[in-house]
């Protein structure tokens, strides 16, 4: 790894491949095209710390339900890259950047994402949240893996409601987070769950409850197609007044643009169990009836939201498709365009952006320039170039410098389990980790890694 430049308090780094490592990378690409995992095993016998081979073999082990080996291979990949860190590169400062368009940097993103997924599955959402913040901090403006579609879910699972609310308040002005279904519903849920905490003063509980009711009504007005699928996921049967109403009826889901249906499927497939608590359902029912009253009264906000849905969500960029494939949520993957789904699921195609800032020094020549993948900003990628949505006219489309305090990662939580909460689940039948899993984020390896 070398330091490319430092300016305005940010440092841009990049991994570099030696000649020997480039030869191993070329052999890896040949092994991937052969569609035979044993060829990757043979490659690892001569290059035991080749990162892409470790990640690819980890996927093969996971598909064969060998979770322990899959986790160990990902940790080895992270250890290999950690040994190549620049002395000034810090995982926890929030001020170090890695350009995803550089081919050598992509493996680090994928390894962190896979490690985060394993931690979440092992019942360590707090540690997984720190990994999510780390991935987002490496390139927050472009967000190549669309971590904004996941960070709200992990914050709710970790019961870190204050962080999610703060993130929404500080980034809403320039990232328009309320136009993403996951933030539109997760933030009011965070306010509501915060209002249920008995250690808060009564006036703060009342304020949080009012804010939650206001935001959930706005979310239901903007995304009416979420309600019935959410109730179906939660095994709740809506009353006839709601199911027969034209606003929340089946037509609300069918009339959604494909890009919006994809985002809704991703959110529901991942976070539906967070809404199963009886108190949460009662609050949601109350909000739904208030929205129906506003619809029947001819509230102009209803028509404005309908117009926004038609013009904003025309297509999703490549980074959202990349996130959907990585998430492996069946409903969201099924919502992908068939051509995109087949192209992204090819072995080795997932980690490639549309353009590269440096040649692919892997024995295959250079990658021809194309159209740059767009960042996750709804007003930029979801609206046609000739249409300006009313909600975006007063907001800047340029990203600003992000608050490093929001993206900094505590060292103890990144390298260890972070002391996951062992209390009651609070949301359905979520498995709780045992004491032996408290340091799930810590990778242990014996031996020394040869210089890369």
| pLDDT less than 50: residues of the chain | 341-351, 354, 359-402, 418-419, 421-452
3-class SS letters over 119-139 = HHHCCCHHHHHHHHHHHHHHC
What pLDDT, on a 0 to 100 scale, did the predictor assign at position 103? 92
Instruction: Return the H-helix or E-strand segment holding 7.
Output: strand 2-7
Alpha carbons 189 and 156: distance in angstroms, whole number: 8
Strand partners, 98: 13
Predicted confidence at residue 445, as pLDDT, reads: 38
What's the longest Cα–Cα distance across the chain? 72
- CB count within 10 Å of CB 20 equals 12
Buried b (16+ CB within 10 A) or exposed e, 109-128: bbbbbbbbbbbbebbbbbbb
* DSSP-derived 3-state class of residue 6: strand
Packing angle of the helix pair 37-46, 19-33 (nearest 10 deg)? 160
| Residue 5 host element (H or E) | strand 2-7
Q: Count the alpha carbons within 13 Å of 86 in the hemisphere toward its beta carbon.
A: 17
**Contact assessment for residue 292 and residue 242, using Cβ atoms and an 8 Å cutoff:** yes
Please name each of the domains of the chain with its CATH number.
6-144 (1.25.40.10), 146-354 (no CATH)
The span from the CA of 20 to the CA of 5, in Å, is: 26
Contact 407, 94 (CB under 8 A): yes
Tell me what pLDDT residue 219 has: 96
3-state secondary structure of 11: strand
**CA separation for the pair 392, 379 (Å, rounded):** 7
pLDDT in tens, 362-416: 443 333 333 333 233 333 333 333 333 333 333 333 333 345 567 777 655 665 5
Q: Which ranges constitute the DSSP H helices of 139-257? A: 151-157, 161-175, 181-195, 202-222, 227-233, 240-243, 250-254
* Alpha-carbon gap, residue 389 to 307, rounded angstroms: 8
Full DSSP string of 405-439: HHH---HHHHHS------S---SSSPPPP-GGGTT
Whether the pTM exceeds 0.85: the reply is no
Cα separation, 222 vs 308, whole angstroms: 8
pLDDT for 239:
87
């Amino acid at each position: 790894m070398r330091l490319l430049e430092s300016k305005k308090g940010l440092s841009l780094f990049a991994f570099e491949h030696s000649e020997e490592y480039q030869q191993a990378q070329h052999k890896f690409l040949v092994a991937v095209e052969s569609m035979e995992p044993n060829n990757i095993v043979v490659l690892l016998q001569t290059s035991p710390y080749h990162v892409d081979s470790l990640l690819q073999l980890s996927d093969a082990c996971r598909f064969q339900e060998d979770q322990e080996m899959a986790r160990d291979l990902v940790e080895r990949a992270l250890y290999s890259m950690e040994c190549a860190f620049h002395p000034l590169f810090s995982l926890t400062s929030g001020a170090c950047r890695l350009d995803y368009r550089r081919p050598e940097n992509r493996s680090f993103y994928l390894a962190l994402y896979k490690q985060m997924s394993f931690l979440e599955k092992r019942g360590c959402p707090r540690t997984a949240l720190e990994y999510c913040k780390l991935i987002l901090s490496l390139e927050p403006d472009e967000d190549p893996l669309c971590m904004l579609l996941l960070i709200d879910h992990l914050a709710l699972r970790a019961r870190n409601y204050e962080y999610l609310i703060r993130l929404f308040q500080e980034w809403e002005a320039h990232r328009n987070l309320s136009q993403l279904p996951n933030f539109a519903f997760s933030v009011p849920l965070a306010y509501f769950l915060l209002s249920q905490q008995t250690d808060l003063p009564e006036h703060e509980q009342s304020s949080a409850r009012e804010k939650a009711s206001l935001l959930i009504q706005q979310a239901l007005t903007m995304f009416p197609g979420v309600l019935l699928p959410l109730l179906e996921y939660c095994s709740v049967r809506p009353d006839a007044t709601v199911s027969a109403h034209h606003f929340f009826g089946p037509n609300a889901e069918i009339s959604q643009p494909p890009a919006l249906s994809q985002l809704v499927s991703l959110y529901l497939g991942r976070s539906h169990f967070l809404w199963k608590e009886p108190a949460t359902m009662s609050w949601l029912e109350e909000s739904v009836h208030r929205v129906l009253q506003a619809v029947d009264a001819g509230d102009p906000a209803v028509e404005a939201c309908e117009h926004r849905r038609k013009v904003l969500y025309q297509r999703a960029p490549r980074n959202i498709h990349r996130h959907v494939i990585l998430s492996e949520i069946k409903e969201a993957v099924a919502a992908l365009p068939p051509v995109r789904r087949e192209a992204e699921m090819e072995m080795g195609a997932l980690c490639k952006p549309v353009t590269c800032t440096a040649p692919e020094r892997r024995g295959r020549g250079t990658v021809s320039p194309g159209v740059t993948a767009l960042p996750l900003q709804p007003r930029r990628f979801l609206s046609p170039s000739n249409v300006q949505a009313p909600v975006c006219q007063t907001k800047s489309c340029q990203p600003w410098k992000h608050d490093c305090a929001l993206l900094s990662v505590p060292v103890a939580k990144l390298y260890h389990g972070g002391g996951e909460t062992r209390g009651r689940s609070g949301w359905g039948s979520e498995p709780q980790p045992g004491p032996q899993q408290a340091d799930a984020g810590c990778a242990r390896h014996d031996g020394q890694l040869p210089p890369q």
